[in-house]
Amino acid sequence: MAASTASRRTLFEVRCDRGAQIARTLGFSAATAQAIRCMDEHWDGGGYPDGMQRGEIPLLARIIGLAQVAEIFASEEGPARAAAVVRQRTGSWFDPELAAAFRSVAGDRELWDACASPSLDDTVAAVEPEGREIAADEKRLDDIAVAFAWVIDAKSPFTYHHSERVADFAVGIARALGLDDRETVRLRRGALLHDIGKLSVPNRILDKPGKLTPREWEIVKLHPYYTYQILERVPVFGELAFDASAHHERLDGRGYYRNLPAASLSPSARILCVADQLDALSADRPYRGKLPAERVIAIMREERGTGLWPDAVDAAEGLVN
């Protein structure tokens, strides 16, 4: 039991510390980052990662902690169940004063309707305090891409650091092929964000140790589509959307999700396809361990010219060696 508790605490520490790190990388205040780090602390000291209690827990963290539990139960079982859980955990998990404030609004049907509305994003954006915008210069854009790569790769133990490794491989291939600096910067950002659509794939599928069913495979094959939909909506990353979402396309047109022919794939898109496959073969997967370098090279050579761009494969082989 003690070992299990220690393991659980370590897991929460990693999650909470990474959440705070992401917030700071995105430019949020130290207070916001600390609130994110402490959002799983409990009023009675039984939470994580530090066992804080009562007033030791930042007020913002107490509010977020209550809100996340209420949202989970409301989404799964309805508002009445959310209110009941908050009531049951008042004084143990939750600050009694905040729990009372929640109960005072929990019966408001308009509140729950707003939370379930398709326009929720716009509603939240509308309450953003004025004058809090952060200038998105080139360094900031790089930081944002890295931060979202951390979010993406934290979804599964089998994707940990995947996006960063793909970005490193892509940059190495791009430099070997003589891509200019501006295009290499764009490629790196696209590589960091290429799997953002994978956030839509349930972990029961991502982490499945056996063969996927046809339906599960169709769900997986949609993640590049969601990558495009997400990036295309963000003005500063819109130019990356097409290439980033093409990382499972093939030169012979048999890739997914668009079945694009070679002529429709830019050099950056072709490089990203190779970099993504290079890391996929080199890393552990739910259904197999990582492959040795010679086997990785052999598989990529088999795809050379049919699925993968020969120039990029040759450059990737140099990186592996």
**pLDDT at site 40:** 93
Can you read off the two tokens belonging to residue 163? Answer: 């996006």
**pLDDT at site 286:** 66
Active site residues: 198
Strand partners, 285: 288
Q: At which of 126, 152, 176 does a domain end?
A: 126
For residues 159 and 231, membership in a common domain is answered with yes
Residue 261 lies in a domain: yes
Domain with 106 in it: what CATH number? 1.10.3210.10
Tell me which residue range forms the domain holding 104: 2-126
**pLDDT at site 3:** 45
Q: Go through 80-92 and write b for each residue having 16 or more CB atoms within 10 A of its CB, e for each that does not.
A: eebbebbeebbee
For residues 27 and 96, membership in a common domain is answered with yes
Give how far Cα 212 sits from Cα of 73, 133, 148, 205, Å.
29, 44, 27, 7
For residues 77 and 156, membership in a common domain is answered with no
- Give the amino acid at 231: L
For residues 266 and 296, membership in a common domain is answered with yes
For residues 95 and 143, membership in a common domain is answered with no
Residue 132 lies in a domain: no
**pLDDT at site 189:** 98
**pLDDT at site 86:** 96
The predicted model scores a pTM of 0.78
**pLDDT at site 118:** 87
**pLDDT at site 98:** 97
Angle at 199 between CA 152 and CA 251, to 5 degrees: 85
Give how far Cα 231 sits from Cα of 84, 164, 189, 239, Å.
38, 18, 11, 8
**pLDDT at site 99:** 96
- Please state the φ and ψ torsions of residue 94, each to the nearest 5 degrees: -115, 145
Tell me the pLDDT of the chain (321 aa) as tens digits.
444 555 555 666 777 888 898 898 888 889 999 999 999 999 999 998 889 999 999 999 999 999 999 999 998 899 999 999 999 999 999 999 999 999 999 989 988 988 888 888 888 888 888 777 777 789 989 999 999 999 898 887 777 789 999 999 999 999 999 999 999 999 999 999 999 999 999 989 988 888 899 999 999 999 999 999 999 998 899 999 999 999 999 999 999 999 999 999 999 999 999 999 999 998 877 667 778 889 999 999 999 999 999 999 999 998 887
Residue 131 lies in a domain: no
C-beta of residue 26 within 8 angstroms of C-beta of residue 143 = yes
Q: For residue 142, how many C-alpha atoms fall within 13 Å in the half-sphere facing its CB?
A: 8
C-beta of residue 74 within 8 angstroms of C-beta of residue 52 = no
